[in-house]
Amino acid sequence: MHSDTTPAQRIADLERQLAAANQELESVLYAISHDLRAPLMAIGGFTDLLLEQPAGLDETRQRYLQRIRDGNIRLTRLLDGLLKLSRVGREPLKPQPLDLVTLAQARFDKLRDNEPARVIVLDAPTSLPVHGDRLLVDMLLDVLIENAWKFTGPKAQATITLGLQGEAFFIKDNGVGFDNKQREKLCKPLQRLHTEKQFPGVGIGLAIAAKIIHLHRGRIWAEGAPDRGATVYFTLELPQGS
């Protein structure tokens, strides 16, 4: 087929079509996730009422209700994660100078407040300056620090390390780690390398992190080994003045 458009024009047109399709998909995802919240809240509320008034319910029926409640809680968490994922990047980026250490320390301190008995430290330099959107970079560090906190849970003495290696920032932990053969799954929505029983979660966090980093024109990858911890590397390549 003959066309007067140049290869560059065709590529630009495809990129616009892809962006439009992604935006439409995110809108549908947001609508579905939002609309399902009300019926889930109703199911959860009525289930709780029945469990609080167990008269006439034998042990088997109470067990069934508990399973319904647990499933409802998990689905609600999943929808919350999907809503959060769909919202990332819906507003224009507002780049500004940031310090990763300050943001990471704030998230670490909140987690410590919730679990003051844990023996865990955040090892970081004095500062790590970067240029990015404050809300999104804050969300990125929430995900990465919280993951490191969670997966070091079984360790009697845990360490989370934040640093810079070459042009890549990294967050390293001495937790349960993972098989490097499965690392391609890490940043895909709903993909988990550990069971729900081992570590609660819905597999959305790193997908959110990857989307944030993509918006900052960066890259994200991870390395790990079973029982030898994990390291997540990322770059934030949004130039100053963007």
pLDDT at 170 over 90: yes
Residue ranges matching CATH 1.10.287.130 in the chain? 7-87
Residue ranges matching CATH 3.30.565.10 in the chain? 95-234
111 versus 3: the higher-pLDDT residue is 111
**Any idea which architecture 7-87 has in CATH?**
Orthogonal Bundle (1.10)
195 versus 131: the higher-pLDDT residue is 131
Average pLDDT over residues 45-52: 81
Residue 104, H or E segment: helix 100-114
Q: Output phi, psi for 230, to 5 deg.
A: -140, 150
13 versus 233: the higher-pLDDT residue is 233
Specify the pLDDT at position 199: 45
Specify the pLDDT at position 18: 63
pLDDT at 30 over 70: no
Let me know the angle formed at the C-alpha of 205 by 204 and 211, rounded to the nearest 5 degrees: 90
Mean pLDDT score across all residues of the chain: 79
Specify the pLDDT at position 21: 60
Q: Report how far residue 221's alpha carbon sits from residue 182's, in angstroms, rounded to the nearest whole number.
A: 12
Q: Report how far residue 106's alpha carbon sits from residue 175's, in angstroms, rounded to the nearest whole number.
A: 21
Q: Report how far residue 194's alpha carbon sits from residue 107's, in angstroms, rounded to the nearest whole number.
A: 23
65 versus 130: the higher-pLDDT residue is 130
Q: Report how far residue 189's alpha carbon sits from residue 96's, in angstroms, rounded to the nearest whole number.
A: 28
Specify the pLDDT at position 242: 54
Provide the percentage of residues in the chain whose pLDDT is more than 70.
76
Model pTM? 0.69
Average pLDDT over residues 175-188: 66
- Tokens representing 52 are 């609080």
pLDDT at 110 over 50: yes
Q: Report how far residue 74's alpha carbon sits from residue 40's, in angstroms, rounded to the nearest whole number.
A: 11
Specify the pLDDT at position 121: 93
Average pLDDT over residues 166-194: 71
Specify the pLDDT at position 1: 46
> Could you count the other beta carbons within 10 Å of the beta carbon of residue 97?
10
Specify the pLDDT at position 189: 47
Specify the pLDDT at position 239: 61
pLDDT digits (tens, 9 = 90+) for 53-97: 767 777 888 888 888 888 877 777 777 777 777 777 777 888 899
Q: Fold for domain 95-234?
A: Heat Shock Protein 90 (3.30.565)
pLDDT at 191 over 60: no
User: Taking the alpha carbons of 122, 123, 124, 125 in that order, is the dihedral positive or negative?
Assistant: positive
